[in-house]
Amino acid sequence: MDGFNFKCLVTVVQGSNATSWLYFLKFLGLTPAFSSGTMTSIERLGVYRKHKSYSFIGNENLENDGLFNYDTYTANPFDYWGHDDEPATALWQKNSEVKLYDVHSHALEAIDVNGNYASTQMDKKQEKVLATVANANYEEFIYSGAENWDGVSYARNVQVGNGTVVPVSHTGASSVRLETDERGLLFTVDALTLGRTYRISVWTDSPDGRLVYRVGSGGGVSELPNQYSAERQANGWYLLQADFISPFGEGDGVFYTFYCQSNVGTAHFDDLRFHPIDATMTSYVYNEWGELEYILDANNIYTKYEYDAMGRLAKTFRETFEHDAVWASNIDYHYKSDQDLTFQGDVAFSRLDYNTYNLRVDFDPQGSGNYSSVWNIGGTTFNRSGNSISYDVSSEGNKDVIVQITDNNSGLSFMAYDRIYFDICPTPGTTLGSYCEVDSDGCYTTWVITRKADGLCGEYLERENDDTVCNNNGNLSCAQ
């Protein structure tokens, strides 16, 4: 047994399963020396990470009855000791191998029983998953939104370049703004597979945004073909995508630099992705509280997740080219006590006047009748007696309404939640328009009909005799 392998490798065999643990594995570090995201092989004393796993799948001595012949049985023990070796017998099947970790022991690149790769990209702090891909190694894919820029680069050393990070976005909170001929969201790859087709895509709010690449450090700049389509547009953003066949392979010493560029005027870029076209990729975007807000599917199309004020998933929306973002699902949460108060419905509401609503929660009258309630409406808290509140609306829009109803005698309580769209009606008596009354012959009478707001988002009509406005002057067919 050689000293190197003995020092760095631990193998655990349990029954018909074997697992090897190794601390001489490639990993991505967080120190300044590794800030570029380059894979580094280094010995970390005392940090053993799972390397390979095996299963015993058969023995040539197995009889037809499923048992072993005692006289001819050969044990076929697990005899794998080298970190790059394989067991001497094919009867031990390799189920998985982890080839790359980060410093927090998140597996970033692995191979399954069929030799297929699966890879994961973490954020720059190695805390959250930004993207996953099946059928590609770690060096063959990249994702970058425009969040979590540290002033130097994004994860995977994606550079802002000449761009500016601004609070305009396709997903998340930010994008990179580029002016005419400026370059941004630059990244370099050099470990591609010869002849393999790769897809690069990005969202931009300008039809003049483009994807560009350069071969090597002194090669010419080329614009990727057929990337823009007016049909791939959603909510004012265009999905640029193009396919690239690698003319060189890993080990050829050739690298490619890809970046976004504005050909004319201002363009914002977001959700940049690069991966083999036959590899399924998924990306993830988080909000400021660390909640998963968007998932971008294999086609770089998002599903958006909205949460209520308590941090619970409330709604989902799906991006489409035909109808922008469409509502996909809604989740309502109901709580009840099985003793004094029984919840019977959502938060009910009705309008009292042009900007005041009555909100209430109905429940069966098993309690004492002595109730108090705490309301949180759009982030503002109100305390009330009873189970209702009069709420004055200061701004229109959707607001989360959370209420806790308490029986003051027993102390039992329950909560209810809803999301309500509040609007403000014109004040009572506001003129909404007017027109002249017309008789059965199509001629004006002398009456002016005025539409007035009733204060409840409805209207009523007022008639006023005014022949200076409603007259038939010039209409010879109508008698005056």
**Tell me, what's the pLDDT at 38?**
46
Q: Is the pLDDT of residue 69 over 60?
A: yes
Q: Binning pLDDT at 50, 70 and 90, where does residue 3 land?
A: very low
Among 49-58, 88-97, 125-134, top mean pLDDT goes to 125-134
Q: Kindly report which listed range (143-147, 238-242, 283-287, 466-470) carries the lowest average pLDDT score.
A: 466-470
Give the count of beta carbons closer than 10 Å to the beta carbon of residue 185. Answer: 27
**Tell me, what's the pLDDT at 366?**
60
Angstrom distances, CA of residue 256 to CA of 15, 33, 179, 338 = 48, 23, 23, 65
**Tell me, what's the pLDDT at 34?**
39
- Rg (the chain; Cα; Å): 34
Q: Kindly report which listed range (8-22, 197-211, 262-276) carries the lowest average pLDDT score.
A: 8-22
Q: Kindly report which listed range (6-20, 170-184, 274-288) carries the lowest average pLDDT score.
A: 6-20
The mean pLDDT value for 435-457 works out to 83
d(CA 378, CA 107): 41
Among 58-67, 328-337, 382-391, top mean pLDDT goes to 382-391
Q: Is the pLDDT of residue 336 over 60?
A: no
Among 87-91, 127-131, 311-315, top mean pLDDT goes to 127-131
Per-residue DSSP letters for 355-398? TEEEEEEEE-TTS-S-EEEEEEETTEEEEEETTEEEEE-SS-EE
**Tell me, what's the pLDDT at 338?**
45
User: What is the total residue count of the chain?
Assistant: 480
The continuous run of DSSP H or E covering 4 comes out as: helix 3-8
d(CA 57, CA 26): 29
The mean pLDDT value for 162-181 works out to 94
Domains and CATH numbers, the chain: 3-114 (no CATH), 129-305 (2.60.120.260), 343-422 (2.60.40.10), 426-480 (no CATH)
The mean pLDDT value for 445-468 works out to 83
In contact, 390 and 358? CB cutoff 8 Å? yes
- Residue 338 CB burial class (10 angstroms; 0-12, 13-18, ≥19): exposed
**Tell me, what's the pLDDT at 225?**
83
Give the count of beta carbons closer than 10 Å to the beta carbon of residue 208. Answer: 15
The mean pLDDT value for 154-165 works out to 88
d(CA 147, CA 165): 9
Q: Do strands 292-296 and 280-286 pair parallel, antiparallel, or not at all (unpaired)?
A: antiparallel
Would you state the structure tokens that stand for residue 64, as one six-digit string? 């037809």
The mean pLDDT value for 266-291 works out to 95
Residues 7-45 as b or e (16 or more Cβ within 10 Å = b): ebbebeeeeeebbbbbbbbbbbbeeeebeebebeeeeee
Cα angle, residue 395 at apex, residues 391 and 400 outer, rounded to 5°: 65
What is the residue-averaged pLDDT of the chain? 81
**Tell me, what's the pLDDT at 446?**
81
One-letter identity of residue 126: Q
The mean pLDDT value for 419-432 works out to 85
Q: Which residue has better confidence, 133 or 327?
A: 133
Q: Quick check: helix, strand or coil at residue 3?
A: helix
Q: Is the pLDDT of residue 363 over 80?
A: no
Per-residue DSSP letters for 392-437? E-SS-EEEEEEEEEEETTT--EEEEEEEEEE--PPPTT-EEEEEEE
Per-residue DSSP letters for 257-321? EEEEEESSS-EEEEEEEEEETTSEEEEEEE-TTS-EEEEE-TTS-EEEEEE-TTS-EEEEEEEET
Distance of CA 391 to the CA centre of its chain: 34
| Dihedral Cα 25, 28, 33, 36, nearest 10 deg | 140
Residue 126 DSSP symbol: S
Would you state the structure tokens that stand for residue 120, as one six-digit string? 């994961």
Cα angle, residue 289 at apex, residues 286 and 294 outer, rounded to 5°: 20
Q: Binning pLDDT at 50, 70 and 90, where does residue 339 land?
A: very low
Q: What percent of the chain has pLDDT over 70?
A: 80
d(CA 239, CA 232): 6
